[in-house]
């Protein structure tokens, strides 16, 4: 918030020196700096705030994410599922339980159990592990992810069951049914 306030003060300020810098000095410098690939890779996540993570938050359960490139507390990375942006599936303000598997079927019981225990709190998604998902997460083995309503990963596990999900939700949301 402080950074955002400072940027706004700089962009909207009326001081003559700041106006001169903003209009005549900074644009050519910024154009040159942002043409560098290394700067773009660092600056975009910082400015857009998608690079923010909560790995050290109490809401991030790391029991099981050791073997993954992505960790609990990270924002769900962008990728396509069945030709659609993953974030199209994450519009509802609720928890999202994802199963990534080498098989596309076989999760009906898991989905039904989740729906009976947490009907309004958690939705269920299953997807085949694509090469893109394999690269992002660093595995080609089945795994599951529980996303918080803010699209950050609450837990990540190589176990495809509701055990860790139930523990997580009981700890942070309370008992259901």
- Per DSSP, helices labelled H in 75-150 are 108-117, 131-137
Note the Cα 37 to chain centre separation in Å. Answer: 23
* Count of beta carbons in the 10 Å neighbourhood of residue 50: 13
CB 67, CB 156: distance < 8 Å: no
pLDDT in the model for residue 156: 95
pLDDT of residue 173: 84
Q: Which residues pair with 122 in a beta bridge?
A: 95
pTM over 0.85: no
Spatial contact of 119 and 92, defined as CB atoms under 8 Å apart? no
Domain 80-172 CATH superfamily:
Glutaredoxin (3.40.30.10)
Identify the segments of the chain with pLDDT beneath 50.
none
| Per-residue model confidence (pLDDT) at position 100 | 94
Q: How confident is the model at residue 94, as a pLDDT?
A: 94
- Domain positions in the chain: 2-48, 80-172
**Rounded distance between C-alpha atoms, residue 12 and residue 6, angstroms:** 10
**pLDDT digit string (tens) for 91-104?**
899 999 999 998 87
Residue 146: its pLDDT value, please?
Answer: 96
Tokens encoding 23 = 């209009």
The confidence score (pLDDT) of residue 45 equals 60
pLDDT of residue 142: 94
The pLDDT, as a whole number, for residue 9 is 73
What's the N-to-C CA distance of the chain in angstroms?
39
**Rounded to an integer, what distance in angstroms lies between the CA atom of residue 41 and that of residue 50?**
12
Count of Cβ atoms closer than 10 Å to residue 68 Cβ: 19
């Amino acid at each position: 918030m402080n950074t955002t306030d400072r940027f706004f003060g700089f962009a909207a300020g009326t001081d003559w020196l700041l106006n001169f810098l903003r209009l005549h000095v900074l644009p050519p410098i910024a154009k040159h700096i942002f043409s560098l690939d290394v700067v773009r890779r660092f600056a975009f996540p910082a400015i857009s705030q998608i690079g923010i993570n909560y790995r050290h938050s109490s809401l991030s359960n790391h029991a099981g994410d050791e073997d993954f490139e992505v960790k609990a507390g990270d924002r769900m990375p962008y990728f396509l599922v069945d030709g659609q942006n993953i974030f199209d599936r994450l519009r509802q303000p609720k928890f999202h339980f994802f199963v990534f598997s080498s098989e596309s079927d076989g999760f009906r019981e898991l989905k039904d159990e989740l729906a009976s225990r947490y009907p309004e709190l958690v939705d269920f998604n299953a997807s085949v592990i694509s090469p893109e998902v394999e690269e992002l997460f660093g595995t080609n083995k089945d795994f599951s992810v529980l996303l918080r309503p803010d699209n950050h990963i609450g837990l990540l596990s190589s176990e495809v069951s509701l055990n860790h999900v139930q523990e997580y939700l009981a700890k942070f949301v309370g008992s259901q049914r």
